[in-house]
Amino acid sequence: MKITKRIFVQLTAGAVLAVGAVMAPIQAVAAEKLVIVTSYPPDTTVTVGKAFTKATGIKVEMLKKKTTAGIKYLQATAANNTSDMFWASAPDAFEVLKGDGLLQKYTVKVKGIPEKVGAFPINDPEGYYKGFAASGYGIMWNTRYLKAKKLPVPNSWADLEKPIYHGHVGMSAPSRSGTTHLTVETLLQGEGWEKGWARWKDIAGNFKTVTARSFGVPDGVNSGQFGVGVVIDFFGLSSKASGFPVDFLYPKMTTLVPANIAIVKNAPNPGLAGQFIEFLLSPEGQEVLLDPKIRRLPVNPATYAKAPKGFPNPFKDKSIGSAVKFDLQLSKSRYNIINSLFDVMITYRLDDLRAATKAIQTAEAKSKGNAGAMKLIKQARALVSKVPITAAKASEKDFNSIFKKKRKKATTKVTGRQAEFEQAWDTEIKANYAKAKQLAEKAASM
């Protein structure tokens, strides 16, 4: 009996606790609150959220998801939506949501925001999402690392191809990070399909790693796992502002793209969401972006007057982000193919690519002036940079539909499966890298 009673008491206590716990979150939900799904770190969301609450008295709840997970989340919960806004960097993520009919239009009241930053329009022409800051890709490096390994500071993409950086460079993959995708695409558009890929592979041959998260790159540079990283500007600028021994620069060929915000369709509080957008674009809101922990480029040119010395200003310094006229339609037409090609040729075959690159670099250093060897090396390079499909094929509509996320309608004619193509590419690429390595080794022994 004694034991039974004790158990009963414990059970009751447990039940009371459980009920209390159930009740607590309900009360929390009752207050009117803006729910924002965002890919930004707390440094950004908390700082902006606090400023917003201070200015308007409205409470904000930030829901942190990786961009891709955020999209999945909004898609999966669309039938019973509880989120008000989506707030992230990559414009293509917003394109996906727009395409799925998950966003609603909004017209901004604030004045003073220009049409374009660099060569890129700031707002969605159809009015579904708004740019609130600009970002561009660039190179960041760890000063202690470069000093210890006696490496020079890189200042263009081409620098990263140099043998001296072998094993010191890190980057994320376009399929993992929307902004990395933009960088890859920018270079392809700037240099052309074949030359662009050749450049990427030459850089990738020096990779220490392809990180699975976009933040893995600044993280690796900050902690000194590798010395040089290809990153979006605010990762570099905010790392520097947090005291890490790192620095950042924009190479000539970069694209500035707006980071965006949009209201989710059937948002529970569309009115509050509108106020958030207005705040973000107001002079006060724009100034928050200059906070050392955030460091994004404001879209209101007037805000730069308050920026610290040396802060890049794309509205004044026309060399930032204007070398390439970014073609959004072209990018869209081959979005998934680029992801897939990069993964097949670089991410998953990094060891093979690195080995081939190392062999070529060694051979080149050894056989200066030896015409026979140089010829072999040229062949090896050609093999490494070979891309399995042409630019025209990559943008072909039917071909792209094989790589689409959604199941096609019965009317679209599709032959072949993604896995089938990737497997064929992989076989070809692996053989090419192995052959290139062989040729380079032969050249080195000549």
Partner 1 sequence: MNSFSRSQWGAGGLALLIGLFLFVFLIVPVVKVVYVAFQDPNTGALTLINFVDFFNTSLFRESFLNSIYVAGGAVLLASLISIPLAYFTTRFNFGGAVLIQTLGIVPLIMPPFVGAVAMLLLFGENGSVNLLIDEWFGFTIPFMEGLNGVILVEAIHYFPFILINLSAALLNIDSAMEESAQNLGASGTRLFRRIVFPLAMPGYVAGASLVFLKVFDDLGTPLLLNINNMLAPQAYLRISSIGISDPMGYVISVILVVFSLFSLWVSFLALKNKDYATVQKGGGGLMKRDLRPWEKIGCYAVIILILLMVLSPHIGLALLSFGTVWSYSVLPDAYTFAHYGNVFRTATQYISNTLLYAGLAALIDVVLGTAIAYIVWRTGLIGRKWLDYIAMGAVAVPGVVLGIGYLRTFVEFNVPIIDKPLSSWWVIIVIALVIRRLPYALRACMAGLQQVSIMLEEAAENLGATKTRTVRRIVVPLMSGGIMAGFIISFATASVELSATIMLVSAESDAPLAYGIYEFMQSAAGRGPGAALGIVAVLIVGIATYISHRVIKRREKELAPGVAVAAQGV
**Nearest approach, Cβ of residue 364 and partner 1 (Å):** 25
DSSP state of 343: I
**Which residues in 284-313 contact partner 1 (CB under 8 A)?**
293
d(CA 427, CA 420): 11
Q: Which residue among 91, 131, 216, 312 contacts partner 1 (CB under 8 A)?
A: 216
Residue 5 makes contact with partner 1 by CB under 8 A: no
Q: Measured at the alpha carbon of residue 364, what is the angle toward residues 363 and 366, in degrees to the nearest 5?
A: 65
Structure tokens that stand for 34 in this block? 């803006």
Look at strands 246-249 and 207-211 and give their pairing: unpaired
Residues 325-384 that bind partner 1 (CB under 8 A): 335-336, 339-340, 343, 347-348
Contact in structure between 296 and 133 (CB atoms under 8 Å): yes
Which one, 36 or 253, has the nearer CB to partner 1? 36
* Interaction of residue 96 with partner 1, rule CB under 8 A: yes
Angle at Cα 230 formed by Cα 236 and Cα 130, nearest 5°? 65
**Torsional class of 310: left (φ above 0), alpha (ψ -120 to 50), beta (otherwise):** left
Q: Mask: binding to partner 1, 235-264, rule CB under 8 A, as x and -?
A: x--xx-xxxxxx------------------
Contact status: 1 vs partner 1 (CB under 8 A): no
Interacting stretch for partner 1, rule CB under 8 A, among 197-205, 208-216, 312-320, 357-365?
Answer: 208-216
Interaction of residue 398 with partner 1, rule CB under 8 A: no
Of the residues 9, 11, 13, 28, which one makes contact with partner 1 according to CB under 8 A? 28
Q: Provide the minimum distance between the beta carbon of 171 and partner 1 in the complex, in angstroms, as a whole number.
A: 11
Q: Annotate each residue in 154-193 with x if it binds partner 1 (CB under 8 A) or - if it does not, as one string.
A: ---------------------xx-x---------------
Q: CA 44 to CA 46: how far, in whole Å?
A: 6
Residue 261 per-residue DSSP state: E
Distance of CA 303 to the CA centre of its chain: 25
Is residue 131 within 8 A of residue 260, CB to CB? The reply is: yes
Residue 148 contacts partner 1 per CB under 8 A: yes
Q: Which residue stretch of 116-124, 270-278, 306-314, 426-434 sits at the interface with partner 1 (rule: CB under 8 A)?
A: 426-434
Residue 319 is given by DSSP the state T
Task: Please report how close the Cβ of residue 50 comes to partner 1 at its closest, in angstroms.
Answer: 11
Question: CB-based contacts of 247: which residues, under 8 Å, 6+ apart?
Answer: 140, 141, 143, 153, 236, 240
Closest distance of CB 111 from partner 1, Å: 32
Q: Which of 1, 5, 25, 305 binds partner 1 (CB under 8 A)?
A: 25
